[in-house]
Copies of this chain bind each other. A is one copy, B any other.
Amino acid sequence: MASQSNNKQSNNKRLDNRTGKQTFVFHNRPNIIGAAAVVGEKEGQGPLSQWFDLILDDDTYGEKTWEKSESKMLKKAITMAMDHSGKTKEQMDAMLSGDLINQLMSSSFMARDLEIPFLGMYGACSTMTESLTLGSVLIDGGYADNIVAAASSHYCTAERQFRMPLEHGNQRPPSAQWTATASGAMILSSGPREGQQLIGGKQARNICVTHATIGKIVDAGIKDANQMGAAMAPATVDTIYQHMQDTNREPSFYDVILTGDLGHIGKKIAVDMLRKKGMDLDPVYNDCGAMLFGEEQDTHSGGSGCGCSASVYAGRIFKEMREGTIKNALLISTGALLSTISSQQGESIPGIAHAVALHAE
């Protein structure tokens, strides 16, 4: 493979860890040795209920403000993931995390409490795969042995920051998505999880990260903040298509291809756009936003927020891969890089998506 060749003149020890245009190859295969998803009450009543590690009874989580609730929820997901990994916070070399709240308030205050060296990430709802990508680079490249990758969102913090005060009780159009109250965290490590772990009498599989594709911003010109799925679909399509080109894989290589969070409308657009480019994602494709809530939960086009894909990956996908029901998964968190200011200034919504390929062995 071209990616294996070393074309450096002076740096003869330097490896080439790329394939194609936008994809990193992790030859040392960073392991995901622990994960946890903490979600709110409504998310816990949805179809994915069984997969979450903690479902809150009360979305305030005992805090006086929603922002502090979100920060506490994120911290809980990270501490549960560390516990699950068998590692302590003192063993973590760095933490990569982000959220939707201005100046990453949820992540910053969580990081203050945990005292792990911190790198703040922002990719809107694409943050979980951004954290996973850069965390995997740090492990694979030998810069760290244990890394926390995390992301969160909370319906009540996002709603009042981006849209309306909750007390206003405004109507939402059918294309709108519902910001998930959810946090997801994964522990990346240079070695596999220590000690034997049995699931249903069988040895749990080891999960590793094999590739990551970094996305470009694609702006479809959409200005309606209630059409986030449509705004993010073109960037998502661009990243998935590039990933397949770069890795020389077909969608059928994967048991699961999971975007998050295009919702019902964006998911259909992405499938159509890829089909026009000659790529069929059936039957392995789904979207975390479309999966998180049941139709009767009245969230319209589905879930959104950094925590939506973070909790589905750290909750369901991690467990299914450990159990052996999924062997190869492609996870693509998708972000809409708007702000209230950019919308007020008449700007359209730039979309971005990063893809991470996981393998269970």
The verdict on A14 contacting chain B, using a C-beta distance below 8 Å, is yes
The verdict on A137 contacting chain B, using a C-beta distance below 8 Å, is yes
* A312 vs B27: C-alpha distance when bound (angstroms): 38
**Which of B9, B101, B253, B350 makes the CB contact (< 8 A) with A191?**
B9
* A116 vs B218: C-alpha distance when bound (angstroms): 10
The verdict on A249 contacting chain B, using a C-beta distance below 8 Å, is yes
**Contact partners of A11 in chain B: CB under 8 A:** 28-29, 190-191
Contact: A337 with B2, CB < 8 Å?
no
| CB closest chain-B residue, reference A215 | B117
* A9 vs B111: C-alpha distance when bound (angstroms): 31
**Contact partners of A29 in chain B: CB under 8 A:** 7-8, 11
**Contact partners of A22 in chain B: CB under 8 A:** 93, 117
A48-56, A122-130, A260-268, A291-299 - the one binding chain B: A122-130
The verdict on A170 contacting chain B, using a C-beta distance below 8 Å, is no
The verdict on A211 contacting chain B, using a C-beta distance below 8 Å, is yes
**Contact partners of A214 in chain B: CB under 8 A:** 94, 117-119
* A215 vs B108: C-alpha distance when bound (angstroms): 13
Contact: B118 with A217, CB < 8 Å?
yes
Q: Per-residue 0/1 for A18-37: is the Cβ within 8 Å of any B Cβ (1 yes, 0 no)?
A: 11001011111100000000
The tally of residues in A whose CB lies under 8 Å from a CB in B reads 90
* A143 vs B138: C-alpha distance when bound (angstroms): 11
* A130 vs B119: C-alpha distance when bound (angstroms): 7
Q: Which of A174-216 contact B (CB under 8 A)?
A: 190-192, 210-211, 214-216
Q: Per-residue 0/1 for A96-127: is the Cβ within 8 Å of any B Cβ (1 yes, 0 no)?
A: 00101111110011011001111111111000
The verdict on A16 contacting chain B, using a C-beta distance below 8 Å, is yes
**Which of B6, B119, B249, B350 makes the CB contact (< 8 A) with A123?**
B119
In the assembled complex, the CB of A8 is this many whole angstroms from the nearest CB of chain B, namely: 6
* A242 vs B161: C-alpha distance when bound (angstroms): 37
Knowing A2-B4, A138-B137, A219-B112 are in contact, say whether A101-B18 is a contact too (CB < 8 A).
no
Contact: B17 with A2, CB < 8 Å?
no
* A22 vs B93: C-alpha distance when bound (angstroms): 7
The verdict on A67 contacting chain B, using a C-beta distance below 8 Å, is yes
A79-87, A276-284, A315-323, A339-347 - the one binding chain B: A339-347
The verdict on A65 contacting chain B, using a C-beta distance below 8 Å, is yes
* A130 vs B122: C-alpha distance when bound (angstroms): 12
Contact: A103 with B119, CB < 8 Å?
no
In the assembled complex, the CB of A110 is this many whole angstroms from the nearest CB of chain B, namely: 9
**Closest A-B pairs by Cβ, 4 of them:** A141-B141, A103-B339, A108-B337, A120-B122
Given contacts A3-B247, A14-B190, A108-B350, 4 further A-B contacts (CB under 8 A): A10-B192, A18-B142, A22-B93, A100-B103
Could you give 27 example pairs across A and B, Cβ below 8 Å?
Answer: A1-B2, A1-B5, A3-B210, A3-B359, A4-B5, A6-B27, A8-B29, A8-B190, A10-B192, A11-B191, A14-B28, A14-B140, A15-B142, A67-B342, A68-B345, A103-B339, A104-B122, A105-B339, A108-B342, A116-B216, A118-B215, A119-B123, A120-B121, A120-B130, A121-B122, A137-B141, A137-B143
